[in-house]
């Protein structure tokens, strides 16, 4: 039976591409012709995919950290990121800054918002772990999973309530469910034009800032886990909790640290997305969380490098699908690619080849 498994998978993939592909807009000759006629559009979409993929990767790290330590899929993580965006908007609204303010005014507001959003999300994540997940740590796996889904609904409704607090958030309207405008504080200078390069490719300083921050956070986390004493304790706990406890590692403290780091990353991502997209809504956590979880699984959940790779791939797939296929089919193509990859590599792209689990 095993001899026929791979040929059967190849046949299924060929069936999906040849039969269902045209229905979903997948026409390879047309796509190749579009790329040949205008390669600058392809480059533009790759840049968009890299920026969005970096943001997805930051959120995906929260999923992969928690799963790597306690094998829990923290479905509330996406909505925690949403609350980080709302916390950032609250702080920036308290400063009274609006679109077009000078960097001298915007930078202190963004810096304070970053600190408060990361501390708020980190603290909320620790509290969630302490009272919602820790009592269920030795329960059947379904119990903490249901608890995580419940926390997701609690966070989402908190965001809905938060969006209606007009007296506390001056820049928001009274309609809690409506998207909220986020002040455009990052400079938007076309880098190529500033360098004297005539091109239809648009890559602004705003894109560059988001990309640099995303890469810095991902690399910083990898270095922390790989080379610091606490990082080694995290890896030991992920490998074998009982053995780590015998060796004198405070497992509860390490797990709390993992939730702290994941929450801080969610808060930073919330601010980053607000500054980049200039709009937030209480449902944004579900969509972003779904793509980030997909990225973590695609790269190999429990693996930091895999989460980074998965986030970038999801960003690129989404951008290219929006351009060359149809935006309404983007999620379908993303999950189709996920299913195909998992069919051949059940552990994800790096799940079986990299020893680092967290």
Q: What is the pLDDT of residue 2?
A: 53
Task: Give the pair of three-digit tokens for residue 77.
Answer: 């993580």
In this prediction, residue 3 has a pLDDT band, given cuts at 50, 70 and 90, of low
Token pair 């400079």 is at which residue? 187
CA distances from 106 to 119, 203, 326 (A): 20, 22, 37
Q: Alpha-carbon distance 198 to 190, whole Å?
A: 11
Q: Alpha-carbon distance 160 to 113, whole Å?
A: 20
Task: Give the pair of three-digit tokens for residue 286.
Answer: 């579900």
- Overall average pLDDT of the 152-171 stretch: 75
pLDDT value at 164 more than 80 = no
Q: Alpha-carbon distance 242 to 246, whole Å?
A: 6
Buried b (16+ CB within 10 A) or exposed e, 198-223: eeebebbebbbbbbebbeebbeebbe
| pLDDT tens-digit readout, 271-311 | 999 999 999 999 999 989 989 999 999 988 888 899 999 99
**What is the Cα Rg of the chain in Å?**
21
Task: Give the pair of three-digit tokens for residue 331.
Answer: 């999620």
Buried b (16+ CB within 10 A) or exposed e, 7-31: eeeeeeeeeeeeeebeebbbeeeeb
Token pair 């304070």 is at which residue? 112
Token pair 């790096």 is at which residue? 350
Q: What is the pLDDT of residue 5?
A: 58
Task: Give the pair of three-digit tokens for residue 89.
Answer: 């908007």
Q: What is the pLDDT of residue 31?
A: 77
> For the chain, first and last CA: distance in Å?
35
Task: Give the pair of three-digit tokens for residue 156.
Answer: 């989402």
pLDDT value at 339 more than 50 = yes
Element (H, E) at 239: helix 229-239
| pLDDT tens-digit readout, 243-253 | 988 888 999 99
Q: What is the pLDDT of residue 13?
A: 63
In this structure, the number of other CB atoms found within 10 A of the CB of residue 96 comes to 12
Predicted model pTM? 0.87
In this prediction, residue 9 has a pLDDT band, given cuts at 50, 70 and 90, of low
Q: Alpha-carbon distance 58 to 311, whole Å?
A: 8
pLDDT value at 353 more than 90 = no
- Strand-strand pairing, 180-181 and 279-280: antiparallel
**Domains of the chain, first to last:** 38-344 (1.10.3470)
Task: Give the pair of three-digit tokens for residue 246.
Answer: 């015998």
């Amino acid at each position: 039976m095993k001899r026929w498994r791979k040929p059967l998978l190849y046949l299924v993939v060929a069936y999906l591409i040849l039969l269902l592909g045209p229905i979903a807009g997948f026409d390879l000759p047309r796509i190749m012709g579009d790329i040949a006629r205008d390669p600058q559009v392809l480059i533009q979409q790759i840049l968009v995919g890299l920026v969005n993929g970096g943001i997805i990767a930051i959120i995906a790290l929260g999923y992969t950290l928690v799963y790597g330590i306690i094998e829990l899929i923290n479905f509330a993580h996406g909505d925690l990121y949403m609350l980080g965006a709302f916390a950032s908007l609250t702080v920036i609204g308290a400063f009274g800054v609006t679109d077009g303010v000078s960097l001298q005014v915007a930078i202190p507001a963004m810096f304070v918002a970053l600190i408060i959003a990361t501390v708020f999300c980190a603290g909320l994540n620790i509290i969630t772990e302490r009272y919602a997940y820790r009592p269920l740590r030795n329960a059947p796996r379904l119990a903490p999973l249901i608890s995580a889904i419940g926390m997701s609904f609690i966070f989402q409704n908190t965001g809905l309530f938060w969006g209606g607090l007009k007296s506390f958030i001056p820049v928001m309207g009274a309609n809690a469910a409506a998207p909220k405008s986020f002040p455009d504080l990052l400079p938007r200078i076309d880098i190529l034009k500033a360098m004297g390069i005539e091109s239809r490719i648009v890559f602004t300083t705003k894109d560059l800032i988001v990309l640099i921050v995303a890469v810095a956070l991902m690399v910083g986390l990898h270095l922390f886990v790989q080379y610091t004493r606490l990082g080694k304790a995290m890896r030991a706990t992920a490998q074998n909790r009982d053995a780590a406890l015998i060796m004198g590692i405070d497992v509860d403290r390490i797990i709390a640290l993992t939730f702290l780091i994941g929450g801080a990353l969610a808060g930073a991502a919330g601010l980053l997305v607000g500054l980049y997209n200039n709009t937030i809504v209480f449902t944004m956590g579900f969509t972003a969380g779904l793509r980030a979880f997909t990225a973590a699984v695609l790269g190999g959940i429990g693996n930091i490098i895999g989460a980074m790779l998965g986030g970038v791939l999801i960003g690129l797939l989404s951008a290219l699908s929006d351009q060359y296929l149809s935006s309404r089919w983007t999620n379908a193509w993303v999950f189709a690619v996920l299913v195909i990859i998992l069919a051949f590599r059940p552990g994800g792209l790096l799940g079986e080849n990299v020893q680092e689990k967290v």
